[in-house]
Amino acid sequence: SQKIEQNSEALNIQEGKTATLTCNYTNYSPAYLQWYRQDPGRGPVFLLLIRENEKEKRKERLKVTFDTTLKQSLFHITASQPADSATYLCALERTGANNLFFGTGTRLTVIP
């Protein structure tokens, strides 16, 4: 069956360091992958989308990579700040499906 795994339930890092979150998937061939941020009590907010033919995408301090051979996406936040503390979700589109499949998320805490 199809599965999405995000590397860890929780990740703590020091302010200023780079946070790296991992999303692995099996039995998928997604056309693209999305990353969302979710704060407590709020709905997810879209951050970045990367297509299967793209290796890397950047937006300000965010960088996403997509390796369709390894079936993995890495999400990086450089120069992390306490305001980056949130849960980050990866989501995959499956060709022909009408919905996104979401991972369970990684809760990131940036320690001042």
Partner 1 sequence: GAGVSQSPSNKVTEKGKDVELRCDPISGHTALYWYRQSLGQGLEFLIYFQGNSAPDKSGLPSDRFSAERTGGSVSTLTIQRTQQEDSAVYLCASSASLVGLDTQYFGPGTRLTVL
**Which of 7, 57, 72, 102 lies at the binding interface for partner 1 (CB under 8 A)?**
102
**Which of 45, 70, 79, 111 lies at the binding interface for partner 1 (CB under 8 A)?**
45
Q: Which of residues 46-65 bind partner 1 (CB under 8 A)?
A: 46, 49
The answer to whether 44 contacts partner 1 (rule: CB under 8 A) is: yes
The answer to whether 112 contacts partner 1 (rule: CB under 8 A) is: no
Quote the least distance from Cβ 105 to partner 1, whole Å. Answer: 7
The answer to whether 89 contacts partner 1 (rule: CB under 8 A) is: yes
DSSP string, the chain: --EEEES-SEEEEETTSPEEEEEEEES---SEEEEEEE-TTS--EEEEEEETT-SEEEETTEEEEEETTTTEEEEEESS--GGG-EEEEEEEE-TT-SSEEEP--EEEEEE-
Phi, psi of 49 (to 5 degrees): -125, 135
Quote the least distance from Cβ 84 to partner 1, whole Å. Answer: 19
**Tokens 């998928």, residue located:** 28
Binding site for partner 1 (CB under 8 A): 4, 32, 34, 41-46, 49, 89, 91, 93, 98-105
